[in-house]
Amino acid sequence: MAYRDFQHFLDVLHAKGELKRISEPVSPYLEITEIADRVMKKHGPALLFENPVGAGQRHGTPNPKSAVMGFPSIHPAARPGSTQSYRMPVAINTMGSRKRMSMALSSEDFEEHRERIAALLKPEVPKGAKAALQLLPRLLELQAVPPKDAKRAICQEIVMMGDEVDLTQLPVLTCWPEDGGPYVTLPLVFTHDPETGKRNVGMYRVQVHDKNTCGMHWQMHKTGMRHMEAAGAKGKRIEVAVVLGGDPVHAFAAISPLPPGIDEMMFAGFLRRERVDLIPCKTIDVKVPAEAEIVIEGYVDPSERRLEGPFGDHTGYYSLAEDFPVLHVTAVTMREKPVYPATIVGQPPMEDGWMGKAVERIFLPMIQLTVPEIVDMNLPVEATFHNLAFVSIKKKYPGHAYKVMNAIWGLGGLAFTKFVFIFDEDTNVQDFGEVWFRIGANCDPGRDTLHTRGPVDQLDHASVTEGFGGKIGFDCTHKWPGENGFSRDYPKLITMAPDVVQKIDQLWPKLGL
C-alpha cells in the first residue's frame, strides 16, 4: 500500500498501535531529543509531539503569514520557558523498529523488497506461454517506476516568498547541548547535475543559520557536492529544494546506495508500487513530491562558505565545526496543517539503525551481483554500519577471503568500511555469538589479516586525516592446506550426527524441557 502522504502514514501507525501522541508542551530545544532518545533505546513507539513550544523570543516583526498558518514566529534555538506553541506537531521515531520500517516501505517485512530486487536481477527466459504469463506481474510492476507530473500539490497550499520566509517558524530541533544550532534532520535534498540534468535526492543535514539561510552539509564524497562543484565550474549557482515529509519511502530512497543512473524517485516508485507525483517548485527549476509536508526552496553559491556545526552525529560523537556551503532560501511552501518530520542521531541504537538495516538487507542482491560468492552480510548497528562488516562467503580457493575484502573496499558506500571479517558460508553472521566464536577459533592475527588504506567517512574522527584512513580485513574462514603458509591439518567443527538430531527432534516435545 502506497501512502497518500506522511500524515496518512502516521494515521496507519496510530491504527496499528505504533504511535504515541504526546500533548504535554515540550521544547524542540533538547527536550524532544531527550524523550526520543530514551524511547529509541527501549525500542519504543513512534512519537507525535502535538504541542512543541518555544521560549517566546521573537525575531523582529511577526511574520504576516503567521496568523494564516496558526503559529507565532519563534526562534527555534531558544531555550524552553514559555507555553507559546508552534502549533505544528513534530513526528519522530516513525521508522524506529523493524515493523515500522517495513510499514514505511509498504510491506509486511522489508525483506520482501530484497526478494523483488533479486528476481529482477536474475531474469529467466520464459519457456512457453505459461512461464511468460508468470513473468507478467513482475514486468507490470516496472510501469509504476517513473515519476509523473502532479495535477495538484498539497505541499503548496501555503506559499511564502521573499520577506515572508522565516525558517524560525518551524520547530527545527536543536538535538544536543553543543550543537551549533537547530538542524533539519530528515531532509530530502533535491539537486540536478548541471551537465546531464540528472536528479539526485540525498539526505544531508541542514543547519538553520537564521530565518532565510542554512548550512548545507555536503560531504566530499556525496553527489550533492559533485553537483555543486560542476555548477561552480560553470560559474553558476545551483538550485536546491529541501523536502520534508511525503510517503516515507522517499526518505529511504534518499539514503539508498543506488547504482549510477538509477533515479531515487524511480526507485521510490518501485518500492511503493505506484508512481511518485512531482510538482515544479515556485522559485526554482526543481520538481518535488507533491504530497510533501514542507518544501524549502533556494540556491547555493559554490564560492560561499560559512561555519557549520558542531553536530551530535551518528558516530556517537560531535562532528566538528567546519566551513560548508550556504543555502539561501527563496521560498517556503507547505500544506495548510503540516506535521514536521524529524529524527535524531547519536550513540546507537537510534532510529537510523533500522533505516540502515533495511538498506543492508534490501541491497544485498545488488552486492551479490558484483561479488556472487557473498552468502550474507551483517553491518552491525552498534558499529554505525559503515565501520564494520561481517561477511560469509562460498569459499572456492585459497586466499578467497582476501579477494572479497578488496571487492568490498571497492563497492560504493562499502568502500568506507574499516573492519571486514570474512567467514565460511555455514556461519550465521547475524548471530554475534557465533561470529565471535569463529573469529576466536579461525583467525590468527599474525597471518590472517590484510591492512590497507583508502577513503573513509568524512565524519570519521579517528582516521589519519579527514576522509582518508586505515582499513583491516580478517580471514576467519577454515584454512585450506598450504593456504597463506598454513601447513597443519585443519580440524573439523564439532557437529552431531544428523540421524541423532532428527530422532531427538521427534522426542523433544515429550521430554518436558
- How far apart, in whole angstroms, are the C-alpha atoms of residue 249 and residue 6? 10
- Grid coordinates representing 7? 500524515
Give the distance from CA 328 to its chain's centroid: 25
CA 127/CA 111 separation, integer angstroms: 28
Based on the residue annotation, tell me whether 263 is a catalytic residue of this protein: no
The enclosing H or E element of 216 equals strand 213-216
- Residue that has been written with the C-alpha cell 564524497 in this structure: 221
How many whole angstroms separate alpha carbon 473 and alpha carbon 485? 18
The count of other CB atoms within 10 Å of the CB of residue 474 is: 21
**Are 249 and 131 spatial neighbours (Cβ–Cβ below 8 Å)?**
no
For the chain, the first-to-last Cα distance in angstroms comes to: 43
CA–CA–CA angle 242, 60, 83 (5° rounding): 80
∠ Cα 207 190 229 (to 5°): 80
Determine how many CB atoms are found less than 10 A away from the CB of residue 96: 26
In terms of residues, how long is the chain?
513
- Nearest-angstrom CA–CA distance, 212 and 208: 8
Q: Which of 166, 263, 313, 352 is catalytic?
A: 313
3-state secondary structure of 394: coil
Catalytic residue list: 313
